Each structure stands twice: as C-alpha cells, then as structure tokens.
C-alpha cells in the first residue's frame, strides 16, 4: 500500500467510535488528506496531543491510492502552536483560517503556497497580542489564500469601465471580484462603497510576503472596509457561510 509522508498541519479532528479520530490534514506534498488515528483517546496513545487542530507535524499514513480515508501511522510534532490553542482570541482566528482551507482545498490537490501561507498566519497569530491586528491579519490571509486557489481580486482599475481608481471613495463588487471607480459606483447597485485606501492596502498585501504584513497599518475606517470586502468576497466564492465566522463576534 502506498505510503504518504509529508509535513502537514491539522485542520480538524473528529471522534470516530469510542477511541479513534478522523484527522483532516493539510499536507505540503499531497494537499488535503483524511486519516484515521486509531486508539487516540486511550490514555497511553502514541497520538496523544499530536493530532489536535493547528499542530504542525510530519505525518506518515498508509492507504490505497484513491482511498478517501488513510490510516495514520505516525505524527511527529514540528510546531505545536500551543500559544494559538491557549488563547481564545487567537483560537477563533485560527479556526476561521482552518475552516476556510478545509472548505476550499479539494482532497489530494496540492497547494504549497497556501500551505506556507497558513503556517505563516498561525506563526504570526502566535505572537500577535492585539485583537484588532489579528482581525486584519485574518482578512489579509483570506484574501491571499483565495488568490492561491485562483480567486484573485481585481484591484488595479475599475471592473466596469477599466478606468483609474481615484479617491477618496470607490466601490467593491464581490460578484465581479473587483474594485469599481467613483463614476461607475452610482450605476452598480451590487458594489459596496469603500475608501480607496482600503483597496490600495489590500492590493499591497497581495504583493507582500505574509511575514511582512504586520507593517501595514489600517485605521478603523479602512479596517471596517477590509473586513466587509473580504468577508463578502470569500462568501460569494465559497457559496456558503463559514460556521467559525460567528466566533469572531464573541
Ligand atoms: Zn468605472
């Protein structure tokens, strides 16, 4: 039977019977994979503490080539992300990022850029104590992640007329996936009004490595816009509400 060995993060774990768990991994080499961890809830399990959400590990699993469910053989922790699990504010942001990846990643569809992005997000979240900054980082993560799976927002010129974006106000149309200029916004009822500064900040974030995003500053007006734009953009493309989104309001 083929052997699957890869750096991986745990997106989700679900109880199976009395002692087992189904673990959803996002792996570097194989994309999303699901594996059964046998005896996980037994006191002396070799998986104890290793198959919790947000753990970054090196996993080895067995299974037939096209099997939906593999069998987990081992899981060696690389980074436990205990700081994320131990803090409610950080935890809820991590949950939203993990759920988005879980929804969007097809099984066995590799996305190395998305994998590195998720790791970078959790590393930043581990050390970021400011809840507002965590909100902004989450939205910018979502924007960058959507771009890795082919949903790249169009932010350089107007999606309706191709014209330049001149401030202070513009629009964003989630259905068309981009910015609308000050002239077209009056005839585009689906576009929500936003500051041009918000659009520029999002554009900049798409060109920067995630590790440097904490340099970007957004006042409450811009942050409110980014929150609204990205949440709408994600919801339109994934065609559903994320369950974990409601945690953000707690
Ligand atoms: Zn226009």
Cβ burial 167-195 (10 Å sphere, 16+ → b, else e): eeebbbbbebbbbbbbebbeebeebbebb
Q: Going from the N-terminus, what domains does the chain have, and what CATH number goes with each? A: 1-80 (2.40.50.140), 85-250 (1.20.1440.120)
Residue 245 banded pLDDT, cuts 50, 70, 90: confident
Does the pLDDT at position 56 exceed 80? yes
Q: How far is the CA of 165 from the centre of ligand 1 (A)?
A: 8
Q: How far is the CA of 134 from the centre of ligand 1 (A)?
A: 33
Q: How far is the CA of 192 from the centre of ligand 1 (A)?
A: 14
The SS3 of residue 79 is strand
What is the C-alpha to C-alpha distance for residues 97 and 88, in angstroms, rounded to an integer? 14
Which residue, among 130, 92, 135, 100, has the nearest Cα to 117 in the 3D structure?
100
Judge residue 94's burial from the number of C-beta atoms within 10 Å of its C-beta, 0-12 exposed, 13-18 middle, 19 or more buried.
buried
Residue whose token pair is 């131990």: 86
> Nearest-5° angle of CA 81, CA 87, CA 89?
110
pLDDT in tens, 109-167: 999 999 999 999 999 999 999 999 999 999 999 999 999 999 999 999 999 999 999 98
pLDDT in tens, 197-227: 999 999 999 999 999 998 998 999 999 999 9
Q: How far is the CA of 159 from the centre of ligand 1 (A)?
A: 7
Q: How far is the CA of 28 from the centre of ligand 1 (A)?
A: 40
Give the max Cα distance, the chain: 66
pLDDT in tens, 12-46: 999 999 899 999 999 999 999 999 999 998 888 88
Q: Which helix (H) or strand (E) holds 58?
A: strand 56-62
pTM, 2 dp: 0.94
């Amino acid at each position: 039977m083929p052997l699957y060995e890869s750096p991986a993060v745990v997106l989700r774990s679900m109880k199976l019977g009395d002692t087992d768990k189904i673990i959803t991994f996002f792996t570097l080499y194989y994309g999303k994979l699901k594996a059964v961890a046998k005896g996980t809830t037994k006191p002396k399990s070799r998986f104890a503490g290793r198959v919790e959400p947000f753990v970054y590990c090196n996993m080895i699993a067995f299974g037939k080539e096209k099997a939906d469910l593999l069998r987990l053989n081992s899981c060696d922790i690389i980074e436990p992300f205990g700081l994320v699990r131990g803090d409610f504010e950080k935890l809820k942001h991590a949950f939203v990022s993990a759920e988005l990846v879980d929804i969007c990643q097809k099984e066995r569809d590799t996305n190395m850029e998305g994998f590195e992005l998720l790791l970078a997000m959790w590393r930043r979240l581990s050390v970021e104590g400011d809840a507002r900054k965590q909100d902004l980082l989450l939205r910018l993560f979502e924007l960058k992640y959507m771009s890795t799976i082919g949903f790249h927002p169009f932010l350089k010129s107007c999606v309706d007329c191709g014209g330049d974006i001149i401030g202070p106000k513009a629009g964003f149309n989630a259905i068309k996936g981009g910015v609308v200029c000050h002239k077209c916004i009056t005839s585009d009822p689906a576009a929500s009004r936003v500051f041009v500064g918000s659009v520029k900040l999002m554009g900049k974030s798409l060109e920067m490595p995630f590790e440097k995003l904490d340099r970007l500053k957004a006042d409450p007006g811009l942050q409110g816009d980014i929150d609204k734009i990205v949440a709408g953009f994600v919801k339109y493309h994934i065609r559903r509400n994320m369950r974990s989104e409601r945690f953000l309001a707690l």
